[in-house]
Amino acid sequence: MFGKVFAVKTIRLVATLFAVSLLTFLLVEQLPGDPILAILPPGGLDDLETIERIRKELRLDDPVLTRYFRWVGNALQGDLGKSYITDQPVADAIKDRIPVTMELALLATIIAAVLAIPIGALSAYREGGYFDRAMSTFTTAALSIPGFLAGIFFIWLFTLKFNWLPSTGWNRITEKGILANLQTAILPAGALALAPLAINARLIRADMIGTLKEDYVLSAKAKGLRDRYILMRHALRPSSLTAITVFALQLGGLIGGTVVIETVFALPGLGTRLISGIYQRDVMMIQGITLFIATVYVVVNALVDLLYAALDPRIRRQ
Amino acid sequence: MSKAMTSSRPDGPLLSVKDLRTYFAMNAGLLKAVDGVTFDLHAGQTLGIVGESGSGKTVLSRSIMRLNLGKNVQTSGQALFQNKDLLGLPLRQMSDIWGQEIAMVFQDPMTSLNPVVKIGRQVSEHVRKHLGVSKKEARGLAIELLKSVRIPEAEVAISAFPHELSGGMRQRVSIAIALACGPKLLFADEPTTALDVTVQHQILNLLGLQQTKRDMAMVLVTHDLGVVAGRTDETIVMYAGKAVEQASTNRIFQNTSHPYTEALLRSIPKTDKPSHTRLAAIAGRPPNLITMPSGCSFSPRCPYAQDRCFEEEPPLITNEDGHTTACWYPVGTVENQAAWDKNLTAGRPSTLAVANGQIIDDVPADTVVGSP
C-alpha cells in the first residue's frame, strides 16, 4: 500500500519536473533577440563568418526539440551547459551562488516559523484581545508591503538611522565566521520573511481557534495542564497542517523571492546571477538556474507531503 | 457497588453545592442553564444526575469544575469542596485541583482524546505535572493504569494513537486518565452515551469498581435513569435547569414523586412487552430556557397539571424520609389522583397521551406509578 503511494508520488514528481524543464526551455527560446549577438565582441555584428562559426559550435541550428533533449540529457548527468558569455559551467555558477540563496531562504523560513507560531497561537488564545488586534494590524501591514520595499525600509532604519548593520554585501561563514555572516544576512532574510510570517501567523491563528473548541482541549484543561502546555503540546500540531501546506509553497517562493531581495541588498546569490544572465541574454545560465529553482520547489513540496504523515498519525495509515 | 448510606459522616461532606446558578447572557436574554441546585456529596459516595438533553446537567457539573468556557457565563452560589469554595478560587489554583483532586470523564471518547498524541503521554502527562514523577516512572504508571482499566497489551497501547483503539477502549483510556492522580471526586459526564450498548455495562461496571476500590466520590451524569439504577446512592432529577426531585436512588425508583421522573421511568423500554409496543414518549418539548413559562416549568407537558401549576412555581419540599420534590400534586398522593381524574375528564391532551399509552400497555393508570 505504502509502496504504491510512494511510486505514484515519484512518477508525478518526475512528470512535473519534465514539464517544468520543457516550459523553461521553450520560454527562454521565445526571448526576443539572438543570443549570439550578445556573445559577439563589440563591433562584430557584421562578421557573418564568426556568427556562423559560433552558431555551429553551439549547435543552435538543430531543431528545438533536439536541442531540448540534448540539454535535458546533459542536465540529468549534472551538466547544465556553459555560460555563453563567461564560459563558466552553469552547474559551477549554481554551486558557487547557492549557499547565499539557501541561507537567506532558510533563515527567512526560521524567522517566519519561529515568530508565526507564538503570534498565531497567542492571537487565537485571546481571540479579539489586544494582542490579537495588534497582530491583525501587523500582519495586514506585512502582507501589503512588498518585500523589496521592506528591505529598503530596513536599510533606512538599521543602516542609515541606527548604523547597526551593513546595508549591502555578504560575509561568507567560511571566511568571516557566523556572526559576521548573520550581520549581512539578517536584514534581507527579515525582509524576505515578512510575508510568509504574516500568512502563517494568520493560518495558525484560524486553525487554532477551531482546535481550541475541540473536546480534547477541554479534557486537557480538566486534567489540570497549564494553558501554555495545552497550546503548544496539544493544540499546535492539529492547527498547523494548513500552515505547513502553505509554507511549502512559500519555501519555493522564497527562493524565487530572493531574486529581488538579493538585488536590493547586492548579495552574490543565485538571484543576482539569474538577473545578470537575463541582462546578458545568457541563455544557458537562465535555463539552468530556472530549472534548478523549479526542481527545489517540486522536491520540497514532495517532502512536505511526508511531513503531514509525521504530524498527523491518522494520515499515516491511509 | 454502592456503599451503605452514611449521610452524616463526622468530617462533613466532600462536596457541598448550595443554590448553584449558571446563567448565560445571550442576545435573546438570560439563559438559565442551572437555576438553583443544592446537594451534598460525601467521600466515597455516588450521585446520579438525570435529565434530558438541555436540562442543565452537563452545565451543572462543568460549573462546579469551573470548566464553563466563555465570557458570557455568570455563576453564583457555592460549591464547597473540602471546605474551599471552588467558585471563588482563582483559576490558577483550580488547575492544581483539576486532574488531581477532581477529574472528569467526558461523553465522547472519539473527541475527548487528542488524535495526534500517543495514549501513553495522554494518560501520564498530568501525573508528571501534578506529582512531579520522572518520564520513566510516568511510563510505568501509564502501563499500570491502562492495565487497571483492563486494556489488553498495555505496553503496546501506550504507543498507540486514539484512532487505533475502539470506542470502548478509548473510554477506558479516558477513565485511566481521570484516575491517574487518584482524585477524590470524579465527574462522569454521560460516560456511556456514545458507546455500544454491549460496552456500556462494561464501562459502568469499571467505573463502579474503581470508585469503590479507591473510595472516590462520583457524580454520574446521564440522561438514562436505567444507568443510575443500582449504581448511585443518591439521584437528582433535573428539568429545565432545576432539581425537581432529589432522594436516595432507591426511593426515586420506588416512591417516585415528581411527574417528570415518573414520565422518564415510563419511557424506559420494557423487554417483557411485545415488540412494536409504542415507546411512552413525553409529550411536548423542554421549555426554552430564555423565556421560561411562569409556574412549574414542567406544567405544559405534565399530565396532572392544574391551574395553580401554571401560575405558581412549586417550592422544593423535603419530607421526613429525606425525599425532596418540587410539585404541587406529587405522584402517589390523593391530590395527584384527583388531578389526573379531572384532567382525563376535561380531555387534557398530555393526560390523554399518557392514558392512551397506558391502554396500549394494558396497565391501569394508578398501578404504573413507581413501577420501573
Res B102: pLDDT:
95
DSSP B266: H
Residue among A214, A224, A314 minimizing CB distance to B163: A314
**CA A125, A128, A130, A135 torsion: positive or negative?**
positive
Interface test with B, best of A217, A223, A228, A240 (most B CBs within 10 A): A223
Res A240: pLDDT:
86
Grid cell of B121 as nine digits: 503521554
Res B160: pLDDT:
93
The pair phi, psi for residue A243, each rounded to 5°, is -60, -40
- Alpha-helical segments (H) within A126-214: 130-144, 147-154, 173-176, 178-212
Q: What is the pLDDT of residues B207-232, one digit of tens each?
A: 999 999 999 999 999 998 888 988 99
Question: Pick the residue with more confidence: A279 or B271?
Answer: A279
Which candidate, A312, A131, A107, A269, places its Cα nearest to that of A197? Answer: A107
DSSP-derived 3-state class of residue A99: helix
B103 forms beta bridges with B186
A/B interface, count of CB pairs below 8 Å = 74
B40 forms beta bridges with B16
Residue among A224, A233, A234 minimizing CB distance to B98: A224
Would you state the torsion angle of the CA atoms of residues B283, B286, B288, B291, taken in this order, to the nearest 10 degrees? Answer: 70
Q: CA-to-CA distance for A79 and A88, rounded, in angstroms?
A: 12
Interface of A with B in 207-266 (CB under 8 A): 214-216, 218-226, 229, 233-234, 237-238
* CA A55, chain centre distance (Å): 35
- For residue B174, give the chain A residue with the closest CA: A219
B171 band by pLDDT with thresholds 50, 70 and 90: very high
Q: What is the pLDDT of residues A129-173, one digit of tens each?
A: 999 999 999 999 999 988 889 999 999 999 888 888 888 888 888
Strands (E), chain B: 15-26, 29-41, 46-50, 73-81, 84-85, 102-105, 185-189, 217-222, 234-239, 242-248, 317-318, 324-325
Res A1: pLDDT:
53
Tell whether B96 is within 8 A of chain A (Cβ): yes
Residue among A222, A226, A234 minimizing CB distance to B114: A234
Question: Pick the residue with more confidence: A311 or A282?
Answer: A282
Q: CA-to-CA distance for B286 and B226, rounded, in angstroms?
A: 21
Q: CA-to-CA distance for B210 and B188, rounded, in angstroms?
A: 13
Which candidate, A251, A250, A231, A255, places its Cα nearest to that of A127? Answer: A231
Exposed / middle / buried, residue B27 (Cβ in 10 Å: 0-12, 13-18, 19+): exposed
Domain ranges for chain B: 108-182, 257-368
Tell whether B182 is within 8 A of chain A (Cβ): no
Is the Cβ pair A220, B114 closer than 8 Å?
A: yes
- For residue A219, give the chain B residue with the closest CA: B112
Interface of B with A in 116-145 (CB under 8 A): 116-117, 125-126, 129-130
Question: Pick the residue with more confidence: B81 or A48?
Answer: B81
The minimum CA-CA distance between A11 and chain B, rounded to whole Å, is 30
Q: Which residues of A touch B111 (CB under 8 A)?
A: 214-216
Residue among A215, A229, A238 minimizing CB distance to B116: A238
All residues at 6 or more sequence positions from A43 whose CB lies less than 8 Å from its CB, including other chains:
none
Q: What is the pLDDT of residues B301-357, one digit of tens each?
A: 899 999 999 999 999 999 888 899 999 999 989 999 999 999 988 888 888 878 776
Q: What is the pLDDT of residues A118-135, one digit of tens each?
A: 999 999 999 999 999 999
- For residue A215, give the chain B residue with the closest CA: B112
Percent above pLDDT 90 for chain B = 55
Q: Which residues of B touch A229 (CB under 8 A)?
A: 129
- For residue B65, give the chain A residue with the closest CA: A222
* pLDDT above 90: residue A246: no
- For residue A315, give the chain B residue with the closest CA: B116
DSSP-derived 3-state class of residue B85: strand
Contact B59, B37 (CB under 8 A): no
Grid cell of B3 as nine digits: 456503599
Q: CA-to-CA distance for A83 and A88, rounded, in angstroms?
A: 5
B188 band by pLDDT with thresholds 50, 70 and 90: very high
Grid cell of A143 as nine digits: 502582507
Q: Which residues of A touch B65 (CB under 8 A)?
A: 222
Is the Cβ pair B114, A311 closer than 8 Å?
A: no
Contact A293, A256 (CB under 8 A): yes
Tell whether B115 is within 8 A of chain A (Cβ): yes
Tell whether A127 is within 8 A of chain B (Cβ): no
DSSP-derived 3-state class of residue B36: strand
B135 band by pLDDT with thresholds 50, 70 and 90: confident
What own/partner pairs with CB < 8 Å and gap ≥ 24 does A249-252 have?
Answer: A249/A301, A250/A112, A250/A195, A250/A196, A250/A199, A250/A200, A251/A105, A251/A109, A251/A297, A251/A300, A252/A293, A252/A296, A252/A297, A252/A298, A252/A300, A252/A301
Q: Which residues of A touch B69 (CB under 8 A)?
A: 218
Res B363: pLDDT:
36
**Residue B20: CB atoms within 10 Å:** 23
* pLDDT above 80: residue B87: yes
Q: CA-to-CA distance for B128 and B3, rounded, in angstroms?
A: 32
**Residue A219: CB atoms within 10 Å:** 26
Mean pLDDT (chain B, rounded): 86
Which candidate, A83, A77, A80, places its Cα nearest to that of A91? Answer: A80
DSSP A46: T
Exposed / middle / buried, residue B229 (Cβ in 10 Å: 0-12, 13-18, 19+): middle
DSSP-derived 3-state class of residue B32: strand
Length of chain A in residues, anyone? 318
| DSSP class per residue in B5-24 | P----TT--SEEEEEEEEEE
Domain ranges for chain A: 2-76, 90-316
Q: Which CATH class is domain A90-316?
A: mainly alpha
Res B367: pLDDT:
36
Interface test with A, best of B100, B112, B131 (most A CBs within 10 A): B112
Q: Are strands B29-41 and B15-26 parallel, antiparallel or unpaired?
A: antiparallel
The minimum CA-CA distance between A226 and chain B, rounded to whole Å, is 7
Res B278: pLDDT:
67
The minimum CA-CA distance between B62 and chain A, rounded to whole Å, is 10
Q: Which residues of A touch B115 (CB under 8 A)?
A: 216, 238, 312-314
* Percent helix, strand and coil across chain A, each to the nearest 5: 75, 0, 20
Is the Cβ pair B67, A220 closer than 8 Å?
A: no
DSSP-derived 3-state class of residue B30: strand
Which candidate, A158, A199, A189, places its Cα nearest to that of A258? Answer: A189
* pLDDT above 90: residue A304: no
Res A64: pLDDT:
86
Is the Cβ pair A312, B116 closer than 8 Å?
A: yes
Is the Cβ pair B125, A223 closer than 8 Å?
A: yes
Res B284: pLDDT:
76
Interface test with A, best of B63, B112, B114 (most A CBs within 10 A): B114
Average pLDDT over residues B200-212: 90
- Side by side, which strands form the sheet with B29-41? B29-41, B15-26, B73-81, B84-85
Exposed / middle / buried, residue A262 (Cβ in 10 Å: 0-12, 13-18, 19+): buried
A40 band by pLDDT with thresholds 50, 70 and 90: confident
* pLDDT above 80: residue A224: yes
B47 forms beta bridges with B219, B234
The minimum CA-CA distance between A89 and chain B, rounded to whole Å, is 48
Least confident of A110-124, B168-182, B265-279: B265-279
* CA A236, chain centre distance (Å): 25
* pLDDT above 60: residue A178: yes
Least confident of A64-68, A240-244, B1-5, B288-292: B1-5
* pLDDT above 90: residue B277: no
Res B267: pLDDT:
81
Tell whether A41 is within 8 A of chain B (Cβ): no
Exposed / middle / buried, residue A198 (Cβ in 10 Å: 0-12, 13-18, 19+): buried
